[in-house]
Chain A
């Protein structure tokens, strides 16, 4: 991934700072809606993490998955299953355990699906995703179709002293924010690494990469596993936020929404899918507030964006800002 145009980097940084400061000024700007908006933004940031993790597969490695939500959901279910019923789980134990379990699941699903490609890959991932959905939907031990509850949020303690109260909305907001920024930076580092370069190249022309001496299957599998694990992290946080997991979080509808966020935001740009998550969720919120028939403007908006902005919002921003920086450079 090439570096972002400087002016775009500035704009994005400013947006992130604004997001970071929201809990401070939100009370003043939206006195009535503040608590709700903070909660909503927390949820959106978690979805943005999910969208970015999917972008690693779809936009970078060219692996269009329609089963990504399975890992998101699994992350949440792991927390629900590992939490004692009426006591707090220890985050330092449940988080790594969750991530390992999700990574394991992603590696198996990836190993089986990566032998197919194109539309077949989409469908195989869909099949595995739906299997995951039905596994939790039909099984008794995790609440079946009614879902399961995490009655007490995990404790974050260092040497027996609580350092973070995940029950506090503002704390959770910053946990979500930190995860968003952290995952973005992590993925940037990853994409700049030798591994990331190979994966990016696979997304462009897999056969050529093979000809150069790399085995694409292995790289795709590792990328799939990393993406799935990050989605699991997002699902883990989402489960903490509402103390609730439901099979619907694994279903293809949820995968589809994440995919829409990625395409809408601009595949392969990483920041784009995060923006896509914000646009998608905020637009839905806005349209819902405006009209009962909110699906109509929502559908129209998606169609308009796909017709007008072929590379998504992120691609559009890149285009605008790189044109501008050329002007600035006197070119």
Chain B
């Protein structure tokens, strides 16, 4: 591999990592602030993709479809929090695991009933459906670059919100001490509902904007879920910064694992996690 291709592979890894970050950020947010292990996070990713696909049949603009899909996802997220998750705050983590496991089953079946078992694709929107020539044989799809830019911008935005705003302060306070948030006179119920909805929106958004370079099909939420957990745990539960680094690490490990050690490609991601946790048992930024 010459240096040129090495750099392109780095770019591939970073691009994949940025997308992973966007999905995982919602998970780590919910995890860190509310202490909820949300197995249904992948289902929101799936929901975002399917909603976008479905809306595209009527609105004819990817941008508009995504814009419409987000409030729907937020509402679904908020309702689930208000009706089900809220009951379990004082309970053991494992009860939440069980609840959200049940939700996965329901989401998967609902997906099948609403949209069937077929695999779908979404066209890359006009204007972004071209590629930049990098080498004689290889081009890089512009949409992927745009996707990375959106993910990076969202990551930056999230950083600013958490570091600079009152909402961010509550979030940081909530992550360290739930009772203190209550003492500050904040409506914890509302805050948690909002956080859960935001988490759902982040997952749905990832599913939606990745849809044109992904296939949309049954079970897509389950496969992203585990890799997101890996990212979150590597970074340190609840840490957005950690999730960012964890996602990049996993993106690169996956990319180079496939190229350099194809026989151990499936190991690479889990191997990285095992090593990180054996050295830093609470993740990089706990």
Contacts and interface: CB of A to CB of B under 8 A. Distances in A.
Given A112-B278, A299-B105, A119 B233 contact: yes
A296 B106 contact: yes
Majority secondary structure of chain A interface residues (helix, strand, loop or mixed)? helix
Interface residues of B toward A: which range? 35 or more
Given A115-B278, A131-B270, A134-B267, A120 B102 contact: no
Interface in B97-111: 97-99, 101-106, 108-110
A307 B230 contact: no
Interface in B206-242: 226, 229-230, 233, 237
B281 A120 contact: yes
A310 B91 CA distance: 8
Nearest to A119: B237
A279 interface: no
A120 B277 contact: yes
A302 B233 contact: no
Interface centre among B112, B226, B237 (most CB of A within 10 A): B226
A155 interface: no
B93 interface: yes
Nearest to A58: B94
B77 interface: no
A260 interface: yes
Contacts of A302: 98-99, 101-102, 105
Interface residues of A toward B: which range? 35 or more
B104 A116 contact: no
Given A115-B278, A259-B97, A306-B102, A299 B109 contact: yes
A296 B106 CA distance: 5
Given A119-B237, A295-B108, A300 B95 contact: no
Interface string A165-204: 0000000000000000000000000000000000000000
Interface string B124-152: 00000000000000000000000000000
B283 interface: yes
B131 to A, nearest CB: 32
A123 B281 CA distance: 11
A296 to B, nearest CB: 4
Interface of B: 31, 37, 84, 87-88, 91, 93-95, 97-99, 101-106, 108-110, 112-113, 226, 229-230, 233, 237, 263, 266-267, 270-271, 273-274, 277-278, 281-283
7 contacts: A64-B94, A116-B277, A138-B266, A259-B97, A296-B110, A299-B103, A306-B102
Interface of A: 58, 64, 112, 115-117, 119-120, 123-124, 126-128, 130-131, 134, 137-138, 252, 256, 259-260, 263-264, 267, 293-296, 298-303, 305-307, 310
Given A124-B274, A310-B91, 17 more contacts: A64-B93, A112-B274, A115-B281, A119-B237, A123-B233, A123-B277, A124-B278, A127-B270, A127-B271, A127-B277, A263-B97, A296-B105, A296-B113, A298-B102, A298-B105, A302-B98, A302-B105
